[in-house]
Amino acid sequence: MKVLGLGDNVADKYLHTQMIYPGGNSLNVAVFARIIGAKAGYLGTFGDDEIGQHVYNTCRDIGIDLSHCRLEKGENGCARVQLIDGDRAFLKGNNGGISRKKPPVLTALDEEYISDFDLVHTSIYSSIEKELPKIRRAASFISMDFSDHYDEEYLEYCCPYIDCAEISCDDEEDIILKRMNAIISYGCKHIVIATRGVKGAFVMVDGKVYEQSPSLVKAKDTMGAGDSYIACFLINYLDGMKDAVDFSKESGKIGITTANEYKDLLVKISLYRAALFSAKQCLQDGAFGYGKKIELSVEDKKQLKS
């Protein structure tokens, strides 16, 4: 499997400990893919400040391919964070920094690069909407995380270009299922994942709904938990579906003998693995570690006091 994160990267700045940790939805999925054992790349924009340098160097050390990234003068994306009983609480950040101001405008060479990946993941935070037609033209499977910040108009525009949509929600089951069905009606082709934190997840695959309980642990930090869930589920599912075939009639019907039976089992196994992997990520600081001590700025101290 080859996985590409396309879009946002940030550093999560933990004001109470004066530490920064690399992150960002699109980047996280690429890094988690690499941790799982897939080949991974990231295509996005880095700032030329200390934070951007740390995020870039971390990705390079992990083994993420950065050959098509952009480097721009300006602040890298930075989110200010506090932890309350292990759960993250976001304060005012810099709105994605240079990554949001100057997202990649994809070239023909970028499209050729994108076409080499099994999974391309982006997000609502990536400011990449205008590039979705190019990504669709190049990619075999596109995943997009809408978090909980989307509206109907935004979904209607983006969904026709994607194969899998992710949403974060804390609603009643009937409301979640209605929203998942709406995403499919807007044009999302294959999968909708609704993560619900400690309540687990709903996943709709080609119209069939699955529910998975979480693997509950005493979390040290929930940063990146949903991203790790998405990465693990999709890698296991997409890689496994390469083996989906129907046996010949002469083979008999003992055990699993059809692609649909295999697919049903694969979805459940992939959800199980995603729950375990996501729980494991909650036992470390930051989305995936690699913290660095920094001095707090005047604005950081102002946000901390407020």
Residue 46 maps to a domain: yes
pLDDT class for 2, splitting at 50, 70, 90?
A: very high
What residues contact 210, with CB distance under 8 A and at least 6 apart?
Answer: 202, 203, 204, 267, 268, 271
User: Among 133-142, 173-182, 273-282, 290-299, which is the least confidently predicted range?
Assistant: 290-299
> Residue 300's pLDDT band (boundaries 50, 70, 90)?
confident
Residue range 226-243, pLDDT digits in tens? 999 999 999 999 999 999
Cβ contact 267:203 at 8 Å: yes
What pLDDT, on the 0 to 100 scale, is given for residue 171?
86
**Would you say 104 and 66 are in contact if contact means Cβ atoms under 8 Å apart?**
no
Residue 305 lies in a domain: no
Where residue 273 sits, what CATH number does that domain have? 3.40.1190.20
Q: Is residue 22 part of a domain?
A: yes
Identify the pLDDT of residue 38: 98
- Residue 39 β-bridge partners: 2
Do the domain assignments include residue 108?
yes
Q: Is 10 within the bounds of a domain?
A: yes
Q: How high is the mean pLDDT of the chain? A: 95
Q: Which amino acid is at 220?
A: K
| pLDDT score recorded for residue 58 | 98
Specify if 169 maps to a domain.
yes
Each residue of 129-146: pLDDT tens digit? 999 999 999 999 999 999
As a whole number, mean pLDDT of residues 14-33 equals 96
Q: How confident is the model at residue 86 (pLDDT cuts 50, 70, 90)?
A: low
Q: What is the pLDDT of residues 36-59, one digit of tens each?
A: 999 999 999 999 999 999 999 999
The total number of structural domains in the chain stands at: 1
**According to the model, what pLDDT value does residue 116 have?**
98
* Backbone φ/ψ region at 290: left (φ over 0), alpha (ψ -120 to 50), beta: left
- What are the C-alpha distances in Å from 100 to residues 75, 131, 237? 10, 13, 31
Residue 11 pLDDT level (bands cut at 50, 70, 90): very high
**Residue 304 covered by a domain:** no
The distance of Cα 73 from the centroid of its chain, to the nearest Å, equals: 26
- The mean pLDDT of 195-219, rounded to a whole number, is 96
Query: Mean pLDDT over residues 255-264, rounded?
Result: 97
Residue 92 in this model has a pLDDT that exceeds 80: yes
**Mean pLDDT of the 71-80 span:** 95
Note whether residue 69 is domain-resident.
yes
Q: Which domain holds residue 220?
A: 2-297
